Structure 1
Amino acid sequence: MKAITLDSKQESKLLLTDIQTRNLLPGEVRVLIKAAALNHRDEWCRKGLYPNIKDGVVLGSDGAGIVTEIGEGVDYDWLQKEVIINPALNWGENQKVQSSSFEILGMPRNGTLAESVIVPVDRLYEKPSHLTWEEAGALPLAGLTAFRAVTYQGNIQPGDSLLVTGFGGGVAQFAVQFGIALGAKVSTSSSSPEKLARAKALGVDFTFNYMDHNWISKALADTDGFDVIIDGVVGDTLNHLIQVTKPGGKIVFYGATLGNPGKIEARKIFWNQLKIMGTTMGSDLDFKNMISLVCEKKIHPIIDQVFKFDEAEKAFDRMRDGKQTGKIVLVP
């Protein structure tokens, strides 16, 4: 079958190739992929920046498709079902944190950028009927990460003031939509006027261009500060976020693309009794609850562009360059 694999010998580090499939083990299913989507971890693998990477592995964590084969012990009712795949494996029983054996589909085990993928049956959920294949394929990893950040870590309540930084990325667009669906007063930031206009169209209350040196005072004037901030950048921007967090508020970060902060405004943190916490992916309970919210509120993932598998390099480069608004989807 055709699959997009990591190959360090290629200039693009990607190779669309034929790979051998295998027989199913007990409790496994084979899913014919109808749509898959990119996440930044795929690009980090391409750059060699992800731990334990190896050539020949099929990339991709997001996917949706049809169950075409079931292994021993799997309920026959799964056969031919339209499904969405939870890419979080071995989270464990502790809702607070993932287990030491936790891993994500797509490295080190084969992922979803293939014509089919083998996964344990307990990773399957029925595809929300209101979603297209492309929307369903775009939801899993970024949606799960955003849902946990907003609900479990952020504990967003109706009427809370929420800031989601970096609108345009997958996690950020989901965090914005989940915050709105849960009744928060949502604001977002970006350096792109076009992305901010898209956020406004979704129902965001306030938008801020973080390249504007006055954005902090503008945010405080518009909102009086935020109860919860969801961020994937950190670096020295952490101190900016501290300035716009209400006393008793929370800063939840799911990534650190700018690295570690050079300094931290420690006095403001303890005096205002702020909570700064990390989050990643989510538990099986988080995924189940995310699907319920998506179905209840008829949430539609924002799709940036759809590429064919043989256009993978273009898709990866678009994500690398930060040009997307929403999720980049690939189809076989």
Structure 2
Amino acid sequence: MSKTINRAVTFIDSRTPATITSKEIDLDSCYDENEIVIKVRAAALNPIDLLVHALYFRIPFSNYPKTYSRDYAGVIVRSGQNVDAQWKIGDQVNGCFFHMYGESGSLSNYLILNPAKQQAITHMAIPPNSNQDPFVINAAWPLVFGTAYSALFDYGQKLGPDSKILVIGASTSVSYALIHIAKRVLHVKTVVGICSTKSIERNKVAGFDYLVPYDQGPVTEEVGKLLVGDLANEKFDLIFDSVGNNDFFPVIDKFLKPKSDNGEYVTIAGEHKIDYRSPNPFTLSGARMLLRIVNPLKGYNTHVLLLPCKQEYMKVGSQLISEGKYAPLIDSVYEFNDFEKAIDRLKSNHCKGKVVVKVTDD
């Protein structure tokens, strides 16, 4: 019997809550010759899921269910005749499914995709000496790891042992991935992180060389002391902001190398921390960030990172995991029927790692 029920977490627009909807599909005819069907075992929530839900305003012809989530881990159960031979039925795979208000998303029993187009996919890594569910582990890292990888590799910089990186928001999952890539792949010797006092010991273990608390005085002054002291007044090659911050812009020339030396300021959040319970796209901080990017007179490079769909970072992440060099941070794991609790946990802004939902058990 090839017919089955595909349950998915969906929403209609910003005024409708997320809910589980069901749709009958035929596993023998729901895909084309270029697609695979993945039975999703686990999916992770990301802040982008909350944003696309909260910011979707009802427009004509938009009353279709839009599916949650992008990160996934599962098993290929169908494969079209034109699909590359590396993707076989029975293969365990994970990745990041790129969509915007799509009817397909990873928080569903089955995910149908074209791996030649949805290239952020790889075979699952099995970490050594881990007691955690490998599907949960592999659902937890694609988007955050890809974001960190892109910040380090996609803007023309040649970062290496002599480079210096400042990370604003050292405690986030993206920054956790970034420190592992910087140390394990690029062998950067100097990575400075900014975090709360209570997170310093945790981030030391992660690999940061220096940590500056943001709750013990003006952060630019504290980083400035470090810069002229231990760092011998050598400016940063990259400032990466994973939380939303504008403290350094008024004094950026003191901290970041100029455009002529490929100094890069990369942010994934803009100028202010986002309140995921009630995000507002019409803030002045968003407009100011845009002006910073397009301003031809500024002496440094500025980018708001939008994650590209590439297999490259998936292969690197999978390799680091299989070698025991990177273990994704997991905050909590929920059953599929408890997805609302998972969403509430993500909205709390207290997560220390990824929120993962176990979609199916077999």
Give the equivalent residue in structure 2 for 1:302. Answer: 329
Task: Quote how far apart the aligned CAs of 1:262 are.
Answer: 5.3
In the superposition, relative to structure 1, how do residues 285 and 84 fare at CA in structure 2: closer, same or farther (>3 Å)? closer
Indicate the SS of the match to 2:67: coil
| Count of residues in correspondence between the two structures | 311
Report if aligned partners of 1:174, 1:301 keep a CA contact under 8 Å in 2. Answer: yes
Q: Which has the larger radius of gyration?
A: 2
1:245 aligns with 2:256: yes
1:161 aligns with 2:161: no
Report if aligned partners of 1:130, 1:298 keep a CA contact under 8 Å in 2. Answer: no
Give the equivalent residue in structure 2 for 1:113. Answer: 107
Report if aligned partners of 2:122, 2:311 keep a CA contact under 8 Å in 1. Answer: no
Give the equivalent residue in structure 2 for 1:62. Answer: 71
Give the equivalent residue in structure 2 for 1:171. Answer: 174
Counterpart mapping for 1:118-267 below 5 A:
118-122=112-116, 123=119, 124-130=121-127, 132-153=134-155, 154-181=157-184, 182-184=186-188, 185-190=190-195, 192-222=196-226, 223=231, 224=233, 225-234=235-244, 236-239=246-249, 242=252, 243-247=254-258, 248=261, 249-256=263-270, 258=272, 259-260=285-286
Task: Quote how far apart the aligned CAs of 1:36 are.
Answer: 0.9
2 CA distance for matches of 1:69 and 1:174? 32
2 CA distance for matches of 1:234 and 1:314? 25
Indicate the SS of the match to 1:148: helix
Indicate the SS of the match to 2:74: strand
Give the equivalent residue in structure 1 for 2:50. Answer: 43
2 CA distance for matches of 1:211 and 1:298? 31
Task: Quote how far apart the aligned CAs of 1:117 are.
Answer: 0.8
Report if aligned partners of 1:216, 1:244 keep a CA contact under 8 Å in 2. Answer: no
Structure 2 residue identity aligned to 1:177: H
Task: Quote how far apart the aligned CAs of 1:233 are.
Answer: 4.3
Structure 1 residue identity aligned to 2:50: E
In the superposition, relative to structure 1, how do residues 134 and 25 fare at CA in structure 2: closer, same or farther (>3 Å)? same
2 CA distance for matches of 1:297 and 1:50? 44
2 CA distance for matches of 1:105 and 1:265? 28
1:275 aligns with 2:301: yes
2 CA distance for matches of 1:304 and 1:15? 23
Task: Quote how far apart the aligned CAs of 1:204 are.
Answer: 1.0
Structure 2 runs not aligned, ≥5 long: 1-5, 129-133, 273-284
Indicate the SS of the match to 2:24: coil
With the length of structure 2 as denominator, give the TM-score of the two structures: 0.75
Identical counterparts, % of pairs? 21
1 CA distance for matches of 2:13 and 2:292? 41
Aligned mate of 2:80, from 71, 93, 110:
71
Report if aligned partners of 2:43, 2:356 keep a CA contact under 8 Å in 1. Answer: yes
Task: Quote how far apart the aligned CAs of 1:28 are.
Answer: 0.8
- With 237-246 and 74-83 compared, the bigger mean Cα shift is at 237-246
2 CA distance for matches of 1:293 and 1:50? 41
Indicate the SS of the match to 1:36: strand
Task: Quote how far apart the aligned CAs of 1:234 are.
Answer: 4.6
2 CA distance for matches of 1:28 and 1:69? 8
- With 151-160 and 141-150 compared, the bigger mean Cα shift is at 151-160
In the superposition, relative to structure 1, how do residues 116 and 251 fare at CA in structure 2: closer, same or farther (>3 Å)? same
Structure 1 runs not aligned, ≥5 long: 88-103
Structure 1 residue identity aligned to 2:44: A
In the superposition, relative to structure 1, how do residues 171 and 49 fare at CA in structure 2: closer, same or farther (>3 Å)? farther
